[in-house]
Structure 1
Amino acid sequence: MTETYHNYVDGEWIAAETGETFETHNPADPSDVVGEFQQSGAEDAERAVEAADAASEEWAATPGPERGAILRETSQNLAERKEELTETLVREEGKARPEAAGEVQRAIDIFAYYATKASDLGGEVKSSSSQDTTLYTVNEPIGVAGLITPWNYPIAIPAWKIAPALATGTTIVFKPASIAPSVARQLVECLDDAGLPDGVLNYVTGPGSSVGETFTTHEAVDAVSFTGSSAVGNMVGDQAQETGKRIQLEMGGKNPVLVMPSADVDEAVDIAASGAFGVTGQACTATSRAIVHEDVYEEFVAGVVDAAESIDIGAGLDGADMGPQVAESERDSTLEYVGIGVDEGATLETGSDEASEGDGYFVEPAVFSDVDPDMRIAQEEIFGPVLAVIPVSSYEEAVDVANGVEYGLSASIVTQDLSEAHDFVDDSESGVVKVNEKTTGLELHVPFGGMKNSSSETYREQGDAGLDFYTLSKTVYLNY
């Protein structure tokens, strides 16, 4: 029998006022119903905002070390439930088990990290130009934050938004993606079990058109943090700014890896294949373009085709290397792009534009060669395991191609030329730049964010920068 799960509002698990629910399914076996969740409406979202607003003053006044203790216990609760959380993530989102386990560990580590940071929060003391005056700053929580998170990292991304918000004393209304809300619900359970006060965090499932829009427009919400597609993110940003809210938007990517003549080609293949086909290509930082110097082009193409064809595709719970796409619509979109690449005249070296036989939203990793930089498969975010390999004749041409898209999230270069590596750090129009590493994978203690249409370019996430979004700075002149 399918279990029905509720919203978490003001410290209670409650049904939506709408009386409606929706189901989530296992993308490896769509007949497997994971759970039934609340199809909430604007009234439910408003109730959550009111709870967060009512709890805001007391939570802001809670000492940082006390808030940190709750985050630390949450981290411990997550660690104790790691196997359960991992299985939930695999079953509902479709990741391979090692990828899901790594994501859960990331959430554990994030809460431990910000637990420590909560004790260190404060301002700065500066020298005053006047005698008998103390000049210093105080950081205060912004108030209520609306968090809207995607399905592709359904526990890690909520963790890196929720943990710094709570550390600063900010209260939260939180809408997870409807495709994969289960592991986010379990995260909320871990916070509740850690003793989080009522109303400080409120979890509401349902559509963006009612729940999300309420969170982005309600006058009691002071800041909105969104991760998802550029189309939706720009709409969320416009709505939030109309009511004067602070915004933080992290959106799409069309991430390149540049392979230069000095590169170890085997290493370059491993870097590109891992970045392109890991997590089924469903990452905003996934490698979507390999921009390869003509001197090593043929060798690289042959290597990356072999790498793609060696991947074991199947259900994550069965130990496969690459799981399904999260939903039928995502699979169909990827297959459509494979067809577009063929129609545009690129060479499909491996992969298919046909759906796999049997159950599950599986696709084959696709590699295109002879890709022109202006083709749609080289310009548009696909969000599936599709790699476009583009030939270039110089470093300068490679950089022009890399920067010649509307996105600027993550970029990498594979080279043994130190000058080339340093030049690329300066030349890349991306928020994350890597040398001899895949475009995916992020350290939790340094800032993360994009440029151009990948980001609002306002506030970064993670590390110390992740705290800035949720705080306001007050300058104090104390003349004694």
Structure 2
Amino acid sequence: MTTSSLVVSHNPADPADLLLRVPEPGAAAVADAVTKARAAQPGWLAGGAGARAAALAAIAEAIEAAAAELAALAVREVGKPLTEARAEVARTAAIWRYYAQAPYDPTGAVHEPFGGSGLLLTRRRPHGVAGLITPWNFPFAIPSWKAAPALAVGNTVVLKPAPEATACALRLAEILQQTLPRAVFTVVPGGATEGGALIASSDAVSFTGSTAVGNEVVRTATARNIPVQAEMGGVNAAIVLPDADIERAAAHIAAAIAGYAGQKCTATSRVIPVGAAHGPLREALAAALGELRTGDPADPATVCGPLISEQARERVGQACQGLAVLAGGTTPDRPGWYAAPTLVEKLPPDHGLLHEEVFGPVAALLPADDLAHAVRMANSVRYGLVTSVHTADLDAVLHGLDHLDTGMVRLNAPSTGVDFHLPFGGTKASSHGAREQGRAALDFYTRTRTYTLTPGAAM
């Protein structure tokens, strides 16, 4: 959080535990960081593919060497359960290793001219300084899956992390700066002022966060005519057909509702059983949620840790107020900002829980008459990030693939979980601009330049 020009970060499992208190640097400091990054960028690019590849590979090794420390920091600063924190750090190292090969990728193509001799070439070139604005829920992975491709293709990076994850971002910067040249990667802590200054001075902007803020980021960057991508919210559905393995589907959906207290844009918040699946899934899912461990995120058995703040817990409580509760709906009696994994039913169609992201361990059960009805329900919100479909019927799978209006479809798997080597993003209000992750990210951090080469004399 930011308080009277200070960035303050507390442990959400123990709010009395203060991790960090640093001054907000202000807009001028952000502009200065971008100026230094811009001055460093030509040298970083000119160093060549070998130097960039070696640097990114060394970063992967350094992250692996510090894995236990980084996981413990994520547990403490953002309340991420230890098992998930360890997995995030391992994925972070894998991201850097994956993009360490990208500098050797082809950067363009050669074409024959329409007539006469010569060559036509296309070549992808970096924008300059990539300004990154990242959330707190994946404090190492999201900055990495933005920064690694940006650096791989020759940009320099200035990162403005969420205030709640400032300690994680500063520690990540220490690791990167041991390998990278000066000013190639810089972290500027802060809030809205610093974020606005970064958008105002960078050459490309990548944002992950709330829809309201993301829309403003897009408007501001677009007004400057710079490339911008924004990954925002999701009100994701899980569709369960009668032929599905109900117990397995319930386990997957429970994990996608309650994992990390539902604080993921890919979390499941609407569960849509089809026809005869309703009764069995209703019972199995309520039982599965009740069995998940809620508590200390440092305990490896914990699935549902604390919410990030008191305000977040209040938001979850307000979303469930007055609803029919099948599981959860309670606040554990312990220090920290905890809420039990909760399943509700019989909501009116216009209830906010069905249309807006709560970002907590809460989901609504919404029975559908048939698959077509379920798909219409899944598509009925303004978001379109991910949908999970649980069935053994290939025809149903193909129907879902053809008619679901989401950027990602996961079959017989939780809605949560991403493959960092494939494109990530949604439709409608969930995303704007080019996809993140995989080779698609390299396209966003570069622009195409076309060259026409003709002979200087008649041949």
Taking structure 2 as the reference length, the TM-score comes to 0.96
Q: How does 1:116-131 map to 2 (within 5 A)?
A: 116-131=101-116
Q: Which residue of 2 aligns with 1:75?
A: 60
Alpha-carbon offset, residue 115 of structure 1: 0.4
Tell me, yes or no, if the aligned pair for 1:121 and 1:168 is still in contact at 8 Å.
no
Shift in Å, 1:34: 1.5
Q: Is residue 357 of structure 2 the alignment partner of residue 381 of structure 1?
A: yes
Amino acid at match of 1:378: L
Change (3 A) 1:348 1:19: closer
Question: Which of the numbers 205, 209, 212 marks the counterpart of 2:189?
Answer: 205
Q: Which 5+ residue runs of structure 2 have no aligned equivalent?
A: none
Aligned to 1:442: 418
Q: Which residue of 2 aligns with 1:13?
A: none
In the TM superposition, what is the alpha-carbon distance from 1:60 to its structure 2 partner?
2.4
- Assess if the C-alpha contact under 8 Å between 1:250 and 1:455 holds in 2: yes
Alignment partners' CA distance in 2, 1:244 and 1:73: 35
Alignment of 1:175 onto 2:160: yes
Check conservation: 1:373, 1:390, Cα contact below 8 A. no
Give CA-to-partner distance per residue, 1:269-291, whole Å, 9 cap, x none. Answer: 01211111111100001011111
Q: Which residue of 2 aligns with 1:325?
A: 307
> Contact between 2:304 and 2:341, CA under 8 Å: does it hold in 1?
no
- Whichever residue aligns with residue 61 of structure 1, its letter is A
CA distance in 1, matches of 2:5, 2:348: 48
Matched, 1:351 2:328: yes
* Matched AA of 1:468: D
Q: Distance in 2 between matches of 1:446 and 1:136?
A: 27
The equivalent position to 2:437 in structure 1, one of 462, 474, 478, is 462
How far off is 1:477 after superposition? 2.0
Partner residue of 1:44 out of 19, 29, 49: 29
**Secondary structure, counterpart of 1:437 in structure 2:** coil
Q: Supply the distance in 2 between the matched residues of 1:455 and 1:112 (Cα, whole angstroms).
A: 26
Q: Is the 8 A contact 1:349 1:369 kept in 2?
A: yes
The code of the aligned residue for 1:165 comes to A
Secondary structure, counterpart of 1:110 in structure 2: helix
Q: 2:251 corresponds to which residue?
A: 270
What is the Cα deviation at residue 35 of structure 1?
Answer: 2.1
User: Deviation of residue 121 (structure 1)?
Assistant: 4.3
Aligned counterparts of 1:286 and 1:425: Cα–Cα separation in 2: 19
- Alignment partners' CA distance in 2, 1:202 and 1:121: 28
Q: Residue deviations 1:126-159, cap 9 Å, x none?
A: 2333343222211110111110000111111000
- C-alpha separation in 2, matches of 1:25 and 1:360: 10
The equivalent residue for 2:198 is: 215
Give the Å deviation of 1:38: 3.2
Structure 1 segments unaligned to the other structure (5+ residues): 1-17
* Contact 1:325/1:362, CA 8 A, preserved across alignment: yes
**Aligned 8 A contact 2:423 2:435 in 1:** yes
How far apart are the structure 1 equivalents of 2:303 and 2:404? 31
State the 1:197 CA deviation.
1.2
Opposite residue 298 of structure 2, the aligned amino acid is L
Residue-by-residue CA offset, 1:263-316 (whole Å, 9 max, x unaligned) = 111121012111111111000010111111131111101111111111111111
**Structure-1 separation of matches of 2:42 and 2:196:** 24
* Corresponding residue for residue 127 of structure 2: 142
Residue matched to 1:152: 137
User: Alignment partner for residue 42 of structure 2, among 57, 65, 80?
Assistant: 57
Counterpart position of 1:26: 11
Q: What SS does structure 1 have at the residue aligned with 2:92?
A: helix
Counterpart of 2:440, as a letter, is: A
Contact 1:408 1:451 in 2 (8 A): yes
